[in-house]
Structure 1
């Protein structure tokens, strides 16, 4: 009597599920870390870019007053703000949103001083620890 078995056994399916579980336990946290680091670098670039735009504005108008962050700077990882904005000083602040929500702020002043609140404020050198 010949049986024609087609398909997978229960043991084979359990082994495949175990392998998928182990791989996902390694891959998902690694990917999430990559996304956070990428968002951190994006926020640093946006803060620096706005500071550069402010310097260009002051060179043309001899004041920072009247500057508005252009709509073309579309930030998904941080909310950008410029406070306080006086004739001779500014501080650009990026507050984390999305994957950076609740992770602090990044700031840069008109004198070039970089700072913020932890853990984002500590990431000016490298976002690898976030």
Structure 2
């Protein structure tokens, strides 16, 4: 009897493995990318949410929002977001977080009434005048 030992993998086994890995990557990479973006968005939400009480404290001390932008409690720019104060007066202000670098296109605001708004976003994310969009399709969780 002539016995042949088989060593290694056949071409079909290798191709099936490559196909399975390709399918998994086609699903996993976009999901992971969206997860990373949502994680970076929390930076803007935290900064704007933290600046609002600071603005109210500034108003309590000065009876105006004018000059709040120069206060030390205003959010500093980061690699992913820049922050700006606009419309500051004795009774109004708007804080804006604008995406930079990999987060460009995202624009979030909060005003003296605590109104959250998404005024700009990349394609597929959507905008909303009453909440901060944090999922594709315009969904908000806050």
Fold conserved between structures, TM > 0.5: yes
Shift in CA distance, 79/49, structure 1 to aligned 2, threshold 3 Å: same
Number of equivalenced pairs = 129
Q: Who is 1:78 aligned against?
A: 81
Unaligned stretches of 5+ in structure 1?
none
1:43 is displaced (CA, Å) by: 1.6
Equivalent position to 2:95, from 84, 92, 95: 92
The normalised TM-score by structure 1 is 0.75
> Which of these residues, 88, 101, 115, is aligned with residue 113 of structure 1?
115
How many Å separate the matches in 2 of 1:56 and 1:121?
30
Match of 1:34 in 2: 35
Do 1:43 and 1:78's aligned partners in 2 also have CA atoms closer than 8 Å?
A: yes
In the alignment, structure 2 segments of 5+ residues that lack a partner are 138-142
The Cα shift of 1:10 comes to 2.4
SS across alignment from 2:134: coil
CA distance in structure 1 between the aligned counterparts of 2:111 and 2:74, rounded to whole angstroms = 21
The 3 A distance-change label for structure 1 pair 71 and 92 is closer
TM-score of the superposed pair, with normalisation by structure 2: 0.70
Cα RMSD for the two superposed structures: 2.9
In 2, Cα distance between equivalents of 1:77 and 1:109: 21
